[in-house]
Amino acid sequence: MQASTRIRLGLVVLIVLLLVPVGIAAVQYEGADLSTTERRQTTTDVTFVTTQGGSANVYEHAGELAVVHTESREILWTHDEYRRYMDVDPLDSDRVLVVAGERTESDNFRRVAVVLNWRTGEELRKFEVPSDTHDIDYLGDDRYVVADKFYPRSESGRTDGRVYVYNATSAEITWEYVFANHYPPYPEAGGQATGYTHLNDVDVIDNGSAFLVSPRNFDRVMAIDRETKETRWTLGEEDNYDILHEQHNPVLLQRDPLTVLVADSENDRIVEYRRTDSGGWELVWSYSAGLRWPRDADRLPNGNTLITDSTNDRVIEVTPGREVVWEFEIERSTYDSERLEHGDEPAGPPMTRFRDEFSSPAESTSDSSLPGTVLRLRTSYNYLYQLVGVWLLPDFAGPGEFVFALLATLVTLGWVGAEAVIRLPFERFDRSVSAPALGNGVYYVAGGGFLLIGVSLLWTIVGEDALTGVYVATAVLLGNLGYGHLRSVFSARETTPVERLDTAIRLGLIGGSVVVCGLLIYSQVGSNGRLLLYGGLGVAVVATAAPLVDV
């Protein structure tokens, strides 16, 4: 048997083996028991997830409200008629209240509170709220409590923030609490000059007699008495970031002793604090492994914690022993998540009931750093799957099968490219274009590619995600290997078909890998990756044409 035949047979066997997992998934796939429409009408096993949007340009990268079947992780319905989606609260089995950003006819941007029937898609009520409002809670009788982040609006640009109760029937404000009336101005009280409180959450507590509020820029959580407007208690201290740092969405788990669960966003962790007899606070439990800017945490009745991991674009459910038992990934910065069956902000049991399931309140840094790195790699892979796999693969093939299908595709493309190279008429090719000119052309194309890689590397240095550097470095390495193989194809005129086949297969696999690295880099730099893509194409065209002009 000739060597070239053995190589071809080996490639066939390799492709078949790579496609075996895809075939197994197809055989085992049974499909859904119910159609999506039927399940949406009947199920109560639902997780609501909101996404804020994929970039600062909210008009191009809008968020959405996703209704997810919890067990199967199937998306039953999405609402994306607005731009940003923030807090979401289940009102009953059919209705949800959501805060959203809306683009007006005059091309402005405003915030609205919307009540939706998620089973039918009908919009039941909508009214405007102050700009950049993050959270609204329903009080009953068509009354709502609103976390007004930017109040008042003045020419000086200063905003103090307030909490107010709004009667939607009469369109009247019936109660309000203005932070500037109770706390000294910036910088004495903390915060920022133009974002004094950055108020991001308000909840009703103590049978409606108080509001639990989260002024993020104060690094504190506080309970405000509705009658006296006095502060009943405060968790957190100014400039003490070891307690809280730019927190979101606190939940009061129990009254005696006071126990609070809160997303400690800037510290990349979820924390549970308990009030001590001396009036201080002690850390009872925390979770941080791999989290990046978490913005919501709910304690479920079974003791697990539902966490919205914003920058990682996912929602996870974690046991008291810090094991992830459920995960759902969705693009464009998750903001809030709620389980329908547990209602808005479920106050599950405190972690003191589960002390035998975890060794210490805080995780060690060494325990959480490795999972974080692995998580970022997996997140990038999942992005690649969402970018390519979900559009090309059938329903039975998921992320696990995608990697095998991707490898099989790369091998096939390499093989096809190799067969084309074997049949290149080198003699005529060399007469029509001189070898030095062709070599220069290859050199310039490679140089343009490395220039693009250098730009990507600079982007990585000034950016915040160092993992992009891993992808760039990999692309550089593969690019160098590919360049060497490419030069060998065109410089060795007397190579045998087998040698050319081997070189071309290597070149095809390396080139495909570079493409994958490029997609991963694109997943890291977001929409700006298009600038790199178009710039790279321009450099490649110019670099290819330049040496031919000199012939």
Task: Please check the confidence at residue 160 and state whether its pLDDT lies above 80.
Answer: no
pLDDT per residue as tens digits for the range 251-299: 999 999 999 999 999 999 999 999 999 999 999 999 998 898 999 999 9
Q: Is 54 exposed, middle or buried (0-12, 13-18, 19+ CB in 10 A)?
A: middle
At residue 91, φ and ψ (nearest 5 deg) are: -95, -35
- Which pairing describes strands 294-299 and 74-79: parallel, antiparallel, or unpaired? unpaired
Backbone angles phi, psi at 538, to 5 degrees: -65, -45
Tokens of 120: 């039918």
| Candidate ranges 150-154, 236-240, 314-318, 439-443; pick with highest mean pLDDT | 314-318
For residue 64, name the pLDDT band (cuts at 50, 70, 90): very high
In 3D, which of 482, 379, 389, 86 has the Cα closest to residue 249? 86
3-state secondary structure of 487: helix
Q: How far is CA 129 from CA 22, 136, 149, 270, in A?
A: 50, 9, 11, 29
Choice among 156-170, 171-185, 393-407, 443-457 with the minimum mean pLDDT: 443-457
DSSP string, 1-38: --HHHHHHHHHHHHHHHHHHHHHHHHHH----SS-HHH
Answer yes or no: is pLDDT of 122 > 80.
Answer: yes
Instruction: Report whether pLDDT(501) > 80.
Output: no
Nearest CA among 345, 341, 343 for reference residue 44: 341
Predicted confidence (pLDDT) per residue in 170-181, tens digit:
999 999 999 988
Cβ atoms of 127 and 168 closer than 8 Å: yes
* For residue 465, pLDDT beyond 80: no
Q: What percent of the chain has pLDDT over 90?
A: 42
* Tokens at 486, concatenated: 């490419």
Report pLDDT digits (tens) over 131-149.
889 999 999 999 999 999 8
User: Can you give the residue ranges of every domain in the chain?
Assistant: 3-17+386-549, 36-348
pLDDT digits (tens, 9 = 90+) for 101-121: 988 777 678 999 999 999 999
pLDDT value at 1 more than 70 = no
pLDDT higher than threshold 50 for residue 461: no
pLDDT the model gives residue 20:
85
pLDDT at residue 547, rounded to an integer: 41
**CATH classification of 36-348, choosing from 2.130.10.10, 1.10.569.10, 3.20.20.80, 1.10.10.10?**
2.130.10.10
Predicted confidence (pLDDT) at residue 531 exceeds the cutoff of 60: no
What does the pLDDT read at residue 432?
Answer: 47
pLDDT at residue 341 is higher than 50:
yes
Residue with tokens 């809306």: 102
The pLDDT of 329-345, averaged and rounded, is 89
Q: Is the pLDDT of residue 237 over 80?
A: yes
Q: Which of 164, 344, 121, 348 is closest to 253 using CA atoms?
A: 348
Query: Is-contact 162 211, C-beta < 8 A?
Result: no
Q: How far apart are CA 351 and CA 67, in angstroms?
A: 29
